[in-house]
């Protein structure tokens, strides 16, 4: 084990993803492609690919499906030593991949999943956080109920006591909770968050704070309005940094993609990419989180941090599945301007 590697702890639900092949619809599918995933685990895979050490903390059932999930993550060199075993079932979701003007669709089946029954004895947070550099979670975890929220609170206390930087990807999901419940729960969690990550809609849903003149449904994403919103969020909650992805949805197959990063005073904007065709956009935000955490832990300038994170997540859209399996060199090449997609030989 390389003791010089930066070490990141991620905490969240692990899931089974079932998707019809290609762009088939649910009603015509005769089979489903199987992958294991989770917002925080997706970020962890990116970090390992970039040369860092990432730990996934979660809970999966003590049966063959739970073991298959852990084996799958281990294939990508993610550390699963702190995943608790037990509970009723592994949560799952069904994904129908959209194309052209037909949007993608996700159906959740996550009730009574193993992490929803996490107990205080499932995780030794002092041990988990010892010697680590960063702690990452997303808003899908507190959306799952009181027990996951209690475990998250324990984790955040230990992470801050151990001196870890804490990041949160807001990851608002309307199918998991309402804006009213999110606005009741999430502000109290933010007092222990250093780096906030979100997309163009998250702040409005989670905090009731909207970028002026924006309308994501119409592709109206004025950069200056989101920059001002980032400054307001930093001032309100004391974040050291606020990062926002900006997705212009041209169709299910084509998106504009960029981002901004704010340190409370200055705002840094990335270049904008047009991603077409999109192979798989699920996990795109998680790959942004992984890229941002990597570049910030590497001591890059904030301009370089946002460029790297956006480029990494741009490349993820070309890869089937939730994981960003791009190498550090591939992301650096895109940042440097190599975007023609020519064959490498």
What would the pLDDT profile of 145-167 be if each residue is shown by its tens digit?
A: 999 999 999 999 999 999 999 99
What's the whole-number mean pLDDT along residues 228-248? 96
- Please give the pLDDT value at position 345: 57
* pLDDT of residue 343 exceeding 60: no
What's the whole-number mean pLDDT along residues 324-334? 97
Query: Which pLDDT band, with edges at 50, 70 and 90, does 1 fall under?
Result: very low
- Please give the pLDDT value at position 341: 65
Pairing of strands 241-251, 273-275: unpaired
Q: What is the mean pLDDT of the chain?
A: 95
**96-125 pLDDT, tens digit each:** 999 999 999 999 999 999 999 999 999 999
Helix 302-316 to helix 328-335 angle (10° resolution) is: 110
Q: How many CA atoms lie within 13 A of 15 on its CB side?
A: 29
Is the whole-model pTM more than 0.85? yes
- Please give the pLDDT value at position 3: 55
Query: Which pLDDT band, with edges at 50, 70 and 90, does 2 fall under?
Result: low
Please report, rounded to a whole number, the percentage of residues in the chain having pLDDT higher than 70: 96
Output the 3-class SS for the chain: CCCCCCEEEEECCCEEEEECCCCCCHHHCCCCEEEEECHHHHHHHHHHHCCCEEEEECEECCCHHHHHHHHHHHHCCCECCCCEECCCECEEEEEECCECCECCEEEEECCCEHHHHCCCCCCCHHHHHCCCCEEEEECCCHHHCHHHHHHHHHHHHHHHHCCCEEEEECCCCCCCCCHHHHHHHHHHHHHHCCEEEECCCHHHHHHCCCCCCCEHHHCECCHHHHHHHHHHHHHHHCCCEEEEEEEEEEECCEEEEEEEEECCCCEEECCCEEECCCCCCCCHHHHHHHHHHHHHHCCCCHHHHHHHHHHHHHHHCCCCCCCCCCCHHHHHHHHCCCCCCCCCC
**53-87 pLDDT, tens digit each:** 999 999 999 999 999 999 999 999 999 999 999 99
**309-321 pLDDT, tens digit each:** 999 999 999 999 9
* pLDDT of residue 215 exceeding 80: no
Question: Residue 63 and residue 13: Cα distance in Å, rounded?
Answer: 17
**169-207 pLDDT, tens digit each:** 999 999 999 999 999 999 999 999 999 999 989 999 999
- Please give the pLDDT value at position 90: 98
């Amino acid at each position: 084990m390389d003791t010089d590697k930066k070490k990141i702890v991620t905490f969240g639900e692990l899931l089974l993803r079932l998707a019809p092949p290609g762009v088939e619809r649910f009603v015509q599918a005769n089979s489903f492609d199987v992958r294991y995933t989770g917002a925080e685990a997706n970020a962890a895979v990116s970090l390992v690919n970039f040369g860092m050490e990432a730990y996934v903390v979660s809970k999966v059932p003590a049966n063959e499906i739970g073991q298959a999930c852990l084996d799958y993550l281990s294939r990508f060199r993610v550390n699963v030593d702190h995943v608790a075993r037990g509970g009723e079932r592994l949560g799952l979701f069904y994904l129908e991949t959209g194309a052209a003007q037909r949007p993608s669709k996700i159906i959740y089946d996550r009730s009574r999943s193993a992490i929803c029954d996490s107990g205080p004895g499932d995780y030794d947070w002092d041990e988990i956080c010892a010697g680590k550099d960063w702690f990452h979670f997303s808003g899908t975890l507190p959306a799952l109920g009181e027990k996951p929220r209690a475990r998250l609170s324990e984790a955040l206390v230990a992470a801050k006591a151990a001196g870890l930087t804490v990041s949160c990807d807001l990851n608002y999901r309307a199918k998991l909770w309402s804006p009213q419940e999110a606005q009741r729960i999430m502000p109290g969690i933010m007092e222990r968050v250093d780096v906030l990550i979100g997309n163009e809609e998250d702040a409005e849903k989670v905090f009731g704070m909207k970028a002026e003149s924006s309308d994501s449904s119409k592709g109206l994403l004025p950069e200056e309005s989101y920059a001002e919103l980032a400054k307001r969020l930093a001032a309100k909650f004391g974040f050291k940094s606020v990062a926002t992805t900006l997705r212009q949805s041209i169709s299910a197959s084509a998106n504009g993609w960029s981002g901004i990063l704010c340190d409370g005073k200055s705002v840094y904007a990335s270049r904008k990419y047009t991603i077409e065709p999109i192979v798989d956009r699920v996990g795109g935000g998680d790959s942004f989180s992984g890229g941002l955490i990597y570049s910030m832990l590497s001591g890059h300038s904030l301009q370089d941090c946002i460029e790297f994170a956006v480029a990494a997540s741009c490349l993820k859209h070309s890869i089937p599945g939730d994981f960003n399996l791009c190498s550090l060199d591939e992301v650096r090449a895109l940042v440097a301007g190599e975007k023609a997609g020519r064959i490498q030989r």
